[in-house]
Structure 1
Amino acid sequence: MIRKMGHTWHLRTRMAGKGLFQTSDLVPLLAERGIHLSREQVYRMVTQPPQRLSLDTLAALCNILDVTPNDLIEITTAPTEVRRTGTSESVGKPAPRHTTIRRPQGL
């Protein structure tokens, strides 16, 4: 059994808690802390969980919203089954033969 790692991004919820309802409200607040992102970049960061996030940006968000990284990112794990490929069990055994079934000529 393998654990599949995931995360939940709570930036929008934390923004609403501070009275920030528009993504463009973050642009000047980030710029005050030395993080210069376009409106489009901030919009994507708020509406979609980021795959990559610099620690400087994370620190600025935590400072703006007065939260910790744990408040923004919730780590989740889910157990998943591993499908067997059959390669480890078939080592040393002959490969199965493919057969062809043919009808008799008279039928």
Structure 2
Amino acid sequence: MSDHKISADGLSIECHAPGNADCRMRPDCDTERWDEFYCTAHDPSHPVIGGHDCWKLPWVNSTMLDETYSGPGAPVTIYPGRGVRISWEGDYCTWDYERGNTNA
């Protein structure tokens, strides 16, 4: 099963990852900057832990899905329920369909 999928209505991406997945790891403080170990914005004593909301979704769902799509083909065809990969691109996230995933 894919951790991230297109929603049933085709308007957004949903996260189905377990609480210890990379996308649910972040410090228990109000920060937008952290690395894999701790908060880098204001207090490095805040360690990164799991169980948070997926931090990738606000990035890819902030606009229409075709605006954050990075895969081949344009315009993108939205397949509700299909698994996707979300990639961090330095200042933003993009998504494309998982290779070989034809589940709808």
Query: Shorter-normalised TM-score: what interval?
Result: under 0.3
TM-score, structure 2 as length reference: 0.25
Bigger proportion of residues as strand: 2
- Whose radius of gyration is greater, 1 or 2? 1
Bigger proportion of residues as helix: 1
